[in-house]
Amino acid sequence: MRSGTVRLVNVKPADRLRDPKIADALAWPGELLRRHGWEYEIWSGADRALLENVRFLAAYRRPGVVPQAEVEQALERVQDGEELALAERRLAGDRPPEEARPALMVLLWSGRLTTDLSRPLSGESVLRRCA
């Protein structure tokens, strides 16, 4: 988080939380993390579109999936309020627009850009720069 606090969020469907094995598996990380001053949260019952977007964006969570130079260049060039499809076309230049998409997805996953994740991600998703 921007404050420097670390928060780990485990995501499980609400109906799985009633399983004692799942409950035990989710409890021990919380105890460990809290001892180290980190926050821990179990998240369930979220909107289907939000969960699908988070699952999709999670593919971009690992450093190195997209070259960092491409990510930084995308961040410099994306315009606040721009639709995703337009940003892709502008950033791609002479390349196919979808080649610019991974850098934008990294920025969304990392929280450096935001969009309404309660709706399915599409070319009409409006990108917002984070302060």
Q: Residue 62 falls within a domain, yes or no?
A: yes
Instruction: Outline where 36-100 has alpha helix (H).
Output: 48-57, 68-77, 84-92
pTM of the model: 0.71
106 and 76 in a common domain: yes
- Report the number of distinct structural domains present in the chain: 2
Q: What CATH number does residue 69 fall under? A: 1.10.10
Angle (nearest 5°) at CA 65 between 104 and 42: 80
* Strands in 1-131 per DSSP E: 7-11, 39-43, 113-114, 128-129
pLDDT in tens, 108-121: 999 999 999 999 99
User: Which residue range forms the structural domain that includes residue 34?
Assistant: 7-43
Average pLDDT of 15-31? 89
Question: How confident is residue 17, by pLDDT bands cut at 50, 70 and 90?
Answer: confident
Q: Phi/psi of residue 66, each to 5°?
A: -125, 135
Residue 6 neighbours by CB under 8 Å, 6+ apart: 33, 38, 39
pLDDT in tens, 66-80: 999 999 999 999 999
55 and 16 in a common domain: no
